[in-house]
Amino acid sequence: MRAEIIAVGTELLLGQIANTNAQFLSQKLAEIGIGVYFHTVVGDNTERLMETIKLAASRSDLVIFSGGLGPTQDDLTKETVASYIETGLVTDSVAMERIEAFFRQRGIVMTQNNCKQALVFDRGVVFPNDTGMAPGMAAEYKGSTFVLLPGPPSELYPMVDRYAMPFFISLLPERQVFHSHVLRFYGIGESALEERLLDLIEGQDNPTIAPYAKEFEVTLRVTARANTVEQAEQLIEPVETEIRKRLGEFIYAEGETSLHEVLVEELKKNGKTIACAESCTGGKVASLITSVPGSSAVMRGGIVCYTNDAKHDLVDIPREVLETDGAISEQTAKLLAENIRHKLGSDCGISVTGVAGPDPSEEKPVGLVYIGVAVDGLPTLVKEVRLAGSRHAIVGRAAKFALFYALQRLKKGERI
């Protein structure tokens, strides 16, 4: 099956946003054995979009559109595709009720053009939009299948995972099961992970192994095709066992989750609490933890002690330590973690102090970061990490390293 992805939106051509939807869709289709042969971006212009549709239909079995399903006049994907496939548009009652409820809840008068978002093909399949307003849709015409998806990734990603993927699988000539295990890694880069698994990746057939970087960490998806889920599990098991043998120290979770979600769950499971003292990360660690629903059960609080005065006055770091060892040091990280734990009465204290850049500090290089983890009953752990990239990247990576080391300390104790 030959697939083609068409992103619709002049903002893409102007470089105002990146076409991450095409990357996501290509990865998802590859997992189930559908090859993507073409990526196209076209602006909000009916004539050019129609030309693009005709070309795609002449060479692809599956044509997937992202964008152009909104309420404004330049949202013209569904109208143009409907014209090409010779079908009408009708109002989807479920989508219309959702749109009306959205405006009622916010006390806003709904303008008439919002009704446009509830229009779908009068034949074919409708994909509900659980995170937005405009539903997706699909229809077959003269040997090609046309699938329309919303443009915002926050809407497209869950729609694909929940509704479009089963539809894509149904198009395959062999109705096999495609089953995946997702392993999540931290503390190792994508290239280093791939190098240590290169023989498995190069020799893959069934199951397939797909690594990809995501938000300063690496995810590995192992996917098998079989007649049943049980058979797929049997194919995945020896491959996953070998991956864990080689890289188990970097695996922090399975499935669709995040470091901060896993850490909060681990704290809840063990009835423990946590507190943070942050310098270079400026509260990023605490922000990630408190973004998890229910984190109030485990999060005692945090202090952003950005200056030396704040470290001394708020977290009781002795002046002589700051003057002798420096704010960016193993000793300061150790005391920050221990003192914040005691001051806020928590079971675990996390500290981060380092140089986020763009300039060095205390004659120490940009990217040098010390992370402290103080857990009741265990010696305080201090890790030195050396990070690269922009200030934003260093802060993000340092915060996730702090979460990772705290999680590992809680799970493994002194064995980390």
CATH code at 85?
A: 3.40.980.10
Distance, in Å, from the CA atom of 416 to the CA atom of 56, rounded to the nearest integer, reads: 53
Q: At 318, give phi and psi (nearest 5°).
A: -60, 145
**Do 185 and 111 share a domain, yes or no?**
no
Residue-wise pLDDT for 40-53, tens only, equals 999 999 999 999 99
**What's this model's pTM, rounded to 2 decimal places?**
0.72
Q: What is the pLDDT of residue 179?
A: 84
Q: What is the pLDDT of residue 288?
A: 98
Burial degree of 140 (CB within 10 A; 0-12, 13-18, 19+): middle
Of 254, 286, 314, which residue constitutes the final position of a domain? 254
Distance, in Å, from the CA atom of 18 to the CA atom of 7, rounded to the nearest integer, reads: 11
**Do 349 and 309 share a domain, yes or no?**
yes
Per-residue pLDDT of the chain (416 residues; tens, 9 = 90+): 899 999 999 999 999 999 999 999 998 898 787 889 999 999 999 999 999 999 999 999 999 999 999 998 889 999 999 999 999 999 999 999 999 998 888 898 889 999 999 999 999 999 999 999 999 999 999 999 999 999 999 999 999 999 999 999 899 877 677 788 999 999 998 889 999 999 998 888 889 898 877 778 999 989 898 888 899 999 999 999 999 999 999 999 998 899 999 999 999 999 999 999 999 999 999 999 999 999 999 999 999 999 999 999 999 999 999 999 999 999 999 999 999 999 999 999 999 999 999 999 999 999 999 999 999 999 999 999 999 999 999 999 999 999 999 999 999 887 76
Q: What is the pLDDT of residue 175?
A: 67
Of 226, 254, 282, which residue constitutes the final position of a domain? 254
Closest CA to 209 of 236, 171, 178, 169: 236
% of the chain at pLDDT higher than 90: 82
Instruction: List Cα–Cα distances, 311 to 109, 279, 322, 349, 368, in angstroms.
Output: 51, 8, 9, 15, 18
> Which conformational region is residue 88 in: left (phi greater than 0), alpha (psi within -120 to 50 degrees), or beta?
beta
Query: Torsion over CA of 242, 243, 245 and 251, rounded to 10 degrees?
Result: -160
**Do 266 and 395 share a domain, yes or no?**
yes
Q: What is the pLDDT of residue 135?
A: 96
The number of folded domains in the chain is 3
**Do 145 and 195 share a domain, yes or no?**
no
**Do 102 and 226 share a domain, yes or no?**
no
**Do 47 and 165 share a domain, yes or no?**
yes
**Do 134 and 187 share a domain, yes or no?**
no
Q: What is the pLDDT of residue 216?
A: 83
**Do 282 and 372 share a domain, yes or no?**
yes
DSSP characters over 305-360: --SHHHHHHHH---HHHHHHT-SSSHHHHHHHHHHHHHHHT-SEEEEEEE--SSS-
**Do 151 and 84 share a domain, yes or no?**
yes
Contacts of 314 (CB under 8 A, 6+ apart): 303, 305
Q: What is the DSSP letter of 109?
A: P
Q: Containing domain of residue 296, as a range?
A: 260-415
Task: Give me the CATH number covering residue 328.
Answer: 3.90.950.20
Of 122, 144, 171, which residue constitutes the final position of a domain? 171
**Do 167 and 183 share a domain, yes or no?**
no
